[in-house]
Chain A
Amino acid sequence: MALELTNVTKRVGVDTHIKETTLRLEPGHFNVLLGETGAGKTSLIKLMAGLDRVASGKIIMDGRDVTDLSTQKRNISLVHQFFVNYPHMTVFDNIASPLRIAGMAKSEIQGRVEEAADILQLRPMLNRRPNELSGGQQQRTALARAIAKESNAVFLDEPLANLDYKLREELREQLPDLFAGRGAVVVYATSEPEEALLLGGYTCLMDDGRVTQFGRTAEIYRNPQDLVSAEVFSDPPINTAPIHKQGNEARLNANVKWTLKDTAASLADGDYTVAVRPNHVTPVKSSRDLVPMMGIVQVTELSGSESSAHFLLGDQSWVSLAPGVHPYRVGDDHQFYMDPSKCFYFAPDGKFAA
């Protein structure tokens, strides 16, 4: 069951929350909606779920126009960031509630609830109330409700954001498998680029109420089609700087310049923006082709096996992320090396150039 949005917009008063969006989500695919807080992920999910009305455009589910169809009739599931369960019902009744509303036979409800409970390891808690459960169990109950319903579309709005780290990793690993083979469109909203990469499938990048790019996750990570998409899909933030191209030389400032190759070399001469991910700016000269840049170290962070450094290059702030522990001293000059083969070049209007 495909879910299609055609020129959908959403306005609240004079503010446009969702700008014209056209999107086609295929059944059985795991789609990640990636964008910062306020980018419009929840707004878009609410439109798709029918909890909000579109200002213009069409929503089509399985070939049927559902733009004016109420939420109740869309046969969808939704899991919120906050653990939302019916407080006065047991876990069993919580999972069974959409099935009972649909008028399913008792024996079938029993079977479906138990199946969902087994998948999410909720068997021993079926007779408890949600407030007697831990946060992770509460969220698993909400997920079980979504699974048992076997709906056409499942919307997961940052479902792991309020869980602690370990539980998150555990549940994140399970998630794609939970819905695999059920033929539903799965939409998973998150603000963390890393999550999108870990979950795989398809990713839809959002910025300021607009879908900037949509495609296979690995593909759009490698090939951002504009500067905004590159910025959205990078953590820590991608480094960007204005450069001037002359012949096959890219010149960032008087000291930092490198030779362009392949398609980049064939671009018209002029001003471009270079973007390079922090993990391609390292303090180690691992190859002859790397471009040296001398920066003043400002902030350093050591996260387990990786060290990151924020440094000033002229008046621009850059970030380097490298495996291993590196001896940075705040305030000192430090030599960094950028890999020019990993650079993206964007035209002044933000479009991908090379």
Chain B
Amino acid sequence: MQKRSIIPILYILFLLLPIYWLVAMSFKTTGEILSGFSLFPQTWTFDNYRVIFTDPTWYWGYINSIIYVSLNTVISVVVALPAAYAFSRYNFLGGKQLFFWLLTNRMAPAAVFALPFFQLYSAVGLFDTHLAVALAHCLFNIPLAVWILEGFMSGVPKELDETAYVDGYSFPRFFISIFLPAISSGVGVAAFFCFMFSWVELLLAKTLTAVAAKPIAATMTKTASSAGYELGLLAAAGTLTIIPGAIVIYFVRNYIARGFALGRV
């Protein structure tokens, strides 16, 4: 092994340590976790996972989360596509200011919006629905998706549009069968970022739901029962929350850096 690879390896170990600890804990009993230090589970148990997959309050947490996260991802990307196209292809009065203003929506903490959303959704009967959370997350995710997609779209020369029109493509047909495939990696990256932000956001999701659409993160905060903390169960739930993100990131792994640069090269 080369000397210069030691530091990166140490760094990666450092990063992976808490994840390892989480996974290891999920296979321990709560008793073992509380009894002291052990590097590996002394008595392997799958009970924690069994509870999650059999208890509806647990697995519905995941289902709820996945429903509103998927809903939000679809809404965000579908709404952002035409907006990003307009920003990348046309100059219009105030276009640049509007584009920047979009991003300022991300600068306010979510807590600022929790109260107005709660009041508004309660009034119109959206409270405790998947749509409520999905729409609330659009506030952050649509601007982000617009920025990412605009970057990818501006990387596609305008001549591609013109060539398609000359070849006889109508605008909708061009957009769907030529343009979308040309920016497919951008759509993937935008969807990934929307998915991630919506998946890890807790405050709005918790505020806007009670029972019917309660997200997994909110369920996890309620593991303190009369029997004390169920740490093993909590660790298993945490491990499972990592998985969807890991799956999604696998598909966009080659473009993720461009996503962090908001699609700009």
Contacts and interface: CB of A to CB of B under 8 A. Distances in A.
Contacts, number: 54
Interface in B178-208: 178, 181-182, 184
A338 to B, nearest CB: 45
A72 B174 CA distance: 11
Interface stretch (B73-81, B136-144, B161-169): B161-169
26 contacts: A46-B162, A49-B166, A51-B162, A51-B165, A72-B165, A72-B166, A72-B169, A77-B167, A78-B162, A78-B166, A80-B162, A82-B157, A82-B159, A84-B159, A84-B163, A86-B178, A86-B181, A86-B182, A87-B182, A88-B184, A97-B167, A98-B167, A101-B167, A101-B173, A102-B168, A142-B163
Contacts of B160: 84, 86
A199 B160 CA distance: 27
B170 interface: yes
Interface of B: 157, 159-160, 162-170, 173, 178, 181-182, 184
Nearest to B160: A84
Interface string A135-147: 0000000100100
Contacts of B169: 72, 101
A149 interface: yes
Give the dominant DSSP class at B's interface.
Answer: helix
Contacts of B162: 46, 49, 51, 71, 78, 80, 84
A88 B184 CA distance: 10
A228 B165 CA distance: 35
Interface string A108-149: 000000000000000000000000000000000010010001
A76 interface: yes
A71 B157 contact: no
Contacts of A77: 166-167
Given A51-B165, A72-B165, A84 B157 contact: yes
B167 A80 contact: no
A72 B168 CA distance: 4
Chain A interface size, under 10 / 10 to 19 / 20 to 34 / 35 or more: 20 to 34
Contact of A72 (B157, B170, B182): B170
Given A86-B178, A87-B181, A88-B182, A145 B167 contact: yes
Contacts of B159: 80, 82, 84
A71 B165 contact: yes
A84 B161 CA distance: 10
B164 to A, nearest CB: 8
A333 to B, nearest CB: 51
A86 B163 CA distance: 9
A289 to B, nearest CB: 52
A88 B180 CA distance: 10
Interface string A53-94: 000000000000000001110001110101011111000000
Contacts of A97: 167
A301 B125 CA distance: 81
Nearest to B164: A86
A77 B163 CA distance: 8
A142 B166 CA distance: 12
A102 B168 CA distance: 7
A303 to B, nearest CB: 33
A87 B155 CA distance: 13
Q: Which of B163, B166, B182 has the most A CB atoms < 10 Å from its CB? A: B166
A102 B160 CA distance: 19
Q: Which of B157, B162, B169 has the most A CB atoms < 10 Å from its CB? A: B162
B158 to A, nearest CB: 10
A153 to B, nearest CB: 10
B20 to A, nearest CB: 40
A78 B182 CA distance: 20
Nearest to A81: B159
B168 A88 contact: no
Given A87-B181, A102-B168, 8 more contacts: A71-B165, A71-B166, A80-B162, A82-B157, A82-B159, A101-B167, A101-B173, A149-B167
